[in-house]
Amino acid sequence: MRLKDDFLWGGSIAAHQCEGAYDEGHKGLGIMDLVTVGAYGKPREIHKQLSGSAHYPSHQGIDFYHRYKEDIALFAEMGFKALRISIDWSRIYPNGDEEIPNQEGIRFYQNVVDELIKYGIEPIVTLYHFEMPVHLVKTYGSWVNRTVIDNYLTFCKTMFEALKGKVRYWVTFNEMNHLDPQTEASDIFTYIIAGLKYSELENKKQTLATIGYNMTLASCLAVKLGHTVDPLNQIGCVFGIEPVYPVDCNPINVMNAFKQMDRDFYQIDAMCNGLFPAYKIREYQSQGIEIAVSEEDSKAFRNGTIDFIGMNYYASSVAEYEGAEEGKSALFGGLQNPYLEASKWGWTIDPVGLRYLLNYTYRKYGIPIIITENGLGAVDQLTEDRKIHDEYRIDYLKKHITQLKKAVEIDQVDCFGYLTWAPIDLVSATTGQMSKRYGFVYVDLDDHGEGTTERIKKDSFDWFKGVIETNGEDF
């Protein structure tokens, strides 16, 4: 088996990280509009309301809102087959609970999608990528409250209808899987997913479990809704997952590693098997957490299974174990691997881990997978003659694509696309920096939002163009 002729090469971006124009087009305030810039080791501050003196990177993004035509033309020049975008909920329903959607917001996304179609680029649309109207958090308490599921479904219906016939691939949620009642979370992780700070949560375990359950249910209901609006819709959900390796072959360490990795899969189980897993409910009960699955919910799980799995892959980790020394990875917890190097932000670089994870996930569920994010966040130097020689990025992507191809060609994994994060420099989700760059296209902006926003092609631009031209045969 080789990569399919219509393999979806391309990239992924998210509204709050690129659009800017946070108060234009009648957009409401979104949760990420209240988060300041941080740095590696310096958490982003999360504010309750806007403060005049703070720098909030989402307000400007990379100005995609005004420059999307130019950016899409660059993606088209690279030969992109697909671009994954997200819809900012607060552009469509500024408060989240209005009866009438904001037409200006809808029109913006229709224009973006039309622009993609003009170049034959398949739009892949994420309905929730850390973009929730602040009003829903303040008024209803976010996903803890089931009313928010109804608001989300209203928003989804609006977008399914507004983009009907133009968009075939939909993603219900990006990375809802990082909330786990068993582990301490950082404020930023609970915040980006649900607009709530971990340190301020009452009854932490119950709250995290309820949010995880309600979001899973919301995804299943959205899948059903999307299939009803247009049976041709292919609807998936995106997960940020990583292999968790045992430190050695001591069976107890192997078991612990399995357990740590498994925590990220219960929602995929629910969405692929059409059933909220009984093992999770029992695990919750043993910790005093109550989750009641009603008849109606069971029906929703049964009828809302996903058509594909989206996989965001950046790193692997080593499971924590008795006697382990300090040495947390900066990503989802776990320890650094002595066999592997890490990025400047502490994310372990593990191309083989991608092949491992593709195999693991495909053997478990047997449905198509798309790599929805993969890439290297690095510091790029702009030379005097305005070039960026990012051979480290090319090296990273080359190694990952090589492993992806092995997974498809040797291991027979049904993977139908590879989307890089991100094809153009944009605001980092975890740190808010611009200097953590991922793109094939450089954006002249620094961490304080200073710069011209000029777009400059990096060396990796032509390299990736070649990958696409040869459908991954020659790179």
Residue from 198, 362, 421, 461 binding ligand BG6 (CB under 6 A):
421
CA distance 304 to 293: 15
Site for ligand BG6 in 271-310 (CB under 6 A): none
Specify the amino acid at residue 187: D
CB nearer to ligand BG6: give 239 or 356: 239
| CA separation for the pair 228, 222 (Å, rounded) | 10
Catalytic residue among 24, 325, 373, 391: 373
Residue 340: what residue type?
Answer: L
Q: What is the nearest approach in angstroms of ligand BG6 to the Cβ of residue 237? A: 12
**Residues 145-184 vs ligand BG6: string with x where CB under 6 A?**
-----------------------------xx---------
The answer to whether residues 427 and 17 touch, using CB atoms and an 8 Å cutoff, is yes
The reply to whether 240 sits near ligand BG6 by the rule CB under 6 A is: yes
> How near is the Cβ of 126 to ligand BG6 at its closest, in Å?
9
* Beta-carbon contacts of residue 142 (< 8 Å; ≥ 6 apart): 132, 136, 148, 194, 195, 196, 211
Beta-strand ranges (E) seen in 248-347 are 308-312, 317-318
- For residue 153, give both structure tokens: 């479904």
Contacting range for ligand BG6; rule: CB under 6 A; set: 49-57, 220-228, 399-407, 423-431: 423-431
Q: What residue is closest to ligand BG6 based on CB?
A: 430
Cβ count near 187 (within 10 Å): 18
Q: Is 335 in the site for ligand BG6 (CB under 6 A)?
A: no
63 closest CA partner among 427, 410, 413, 343: 427
Among 132, 429, 441, 467, binds ligand BG6 (CB under 6 A): 429
Which span (60-68, 88-96, 195-203, 429-437) binds ligand BG6, by CB under 6 A?
429-437
Token pair 């005049």 in the structure block, residue: 52
Provide the minimum distance between the beta carbon of 188 and ligand BG6 in the complex, in angstroms, as a whole number.
Answer: 9
Which parts of 51-110 interact with ligand BG6 (CB under 6 A)?
A: none
> Looking at beta carbons only, is 158 or 343 nearer to ligand BG6?
343
Q: How far is CA 236 from CA 21, 123, 126, 275, in A?
A: 28, 14, 9, 16
Catalytic site residue 373?
A: yes
CA angle 201, 142, 222 (to 5 degrees): 135
Q: Which is nearer to ligand BG6, 437 or 455 (CB)?
A: 437
| Selected range binding ligand BG6 among 137-145, 288-296, 385-393, 424-432, rule: CB under 6 A | 424-432
**Closer to ligand BG6 at the Cβ: 11 or 377?**
377
Q: How far apart are CA 235 and CA 218, in angstroms?
A: 13
357, 243 contact by CB (below 8 A): yes
Distances (CA, A) of 293 to 72, 180, 217, 267, 296: 44, 18, 10, 14, 8
Q: Three-state SS for 328?
A: strand
**Taking contact as CB under 6 A, which single stretch among the options 150-158, 194-202, 280-288, 422-430 is the one that binds ligand BG6?**
422-430
Least distance from C-beta 422 to ligand BG6, angstroms?
Answer: 7
Residue 304 CA neighbour count, 13 Å, CB half: 29
267, 312, 374, 403: which one binds ligand BG6 (CB under 6 A): 312
User: From the CB of 474, what's the least distance to ligand BG6, in Å?
Assistant: 28
In the complex, the smallest distance separating the C-beta of residue 39 from ligand BG6, rounded to whole angstroms, is: 11
- DSSP states along 395-429: HHHHHHHHHHHHHHHTT---EEEEEEE-SB----T
* Options 195, 246, 333, 377; binder of ligand BG6; rule CB under 6 A: 377
Contact 399, 354 (CB under 8 A): no
Which residue lies nearer to ligand BG6 by CB, 131 or 320?
Answer: 131
The answer to the question of residue 373 lying near ligand BG6 (CB under 6 A) is: yes
Pick between residue 206 and residue 435 the one whose CB is nearest to ligand BG6.
435
Of the two residues 214 and 312, which places its CB atom closer to ligand BG6 in the complex? Answer: 312
Residue (of 17, 108, 61, 10) closest to 423 by Cα position:
10
Q: Give the nearest distance from C-beta 312 to ligand BG6 in angstroms.
A: 5
Count of residues of this chain found to bind ligand BG6 when the rule CB under 6 A is applied: 14
**Could you give the residue numbers annotated as active site?**
373
Which residues sit at the interface with ligand BG6, rule CB under 6 A?
A: 14, 17, 174-175, 240, 312, 373, 377, 421, 428-431, 436
